């Protein structure tokens, strides 16, 4: 079964921020494009078997069934809505950030 992947406004802002930081602060257009492509690829990959990734093990996200997948230095958080066959990507954050604060 294929799921429709929906990217939240917050996750879109996260992606733009990540790209902008790498491009402008780290001065690497090529790296920014590579990271963006990897993240987009991971998003598309969630259309098939999105439950293959783990539930985020910290409350209150665990009881809300928020899942996470690591993509390079970043963590993508998402929800699977079985009834609608949808995957909602909620956040994309740098893996070394304080996750409780970021979420």
Q: What is the pLDDT of residue 95?
A: 82
Q: What is the pLDDT of residue 57?
A: 93
CA 65 to CA 20: how far, in whole Å? Answer: 30
pLDDT tens digits, 16-74: 999 999 999 999 999 999 999 999 999 999 999 999 999 999 999 999 999 999 999 99
Domains in the chain: boundaries: 4-102
- Write down the CATH superfamily of domain 4-102: RelE-like (3.30.2310.20)
* Sign, Cα dihedral of 61, 63, 64, 70: positive
Taking 90 as the threshold, does the pLDDT of residue 99 lie above it? Answer: no
Q: What is the pLDDT of residue 1?
A: 75
Q: Which residues pair with 86 in a beta bridge?
A: 4, 81
């Amino acid at each position: 079964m294929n799921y429709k992947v929906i990217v939240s406004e917050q996750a879109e802002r996260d992606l733009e921020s990540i790209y902008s930081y790498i491009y402008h602060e780290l001065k690497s257009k090529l790296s920014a494009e590579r990271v963006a492509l990897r993240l987009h690829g991971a998003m598309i990959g969630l259309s098939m078997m999105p439950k293959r990734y783990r539930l985020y093990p910290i409350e209150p996200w665990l009881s809300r069934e928020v899942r996470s997948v690591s993509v390079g230095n970043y963590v993508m958080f998402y929800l699977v809505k079985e009834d609608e066959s949808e995957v909602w990507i909620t956040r994309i954050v740098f893996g070394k950030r304080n996750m409780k604060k970021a979420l």
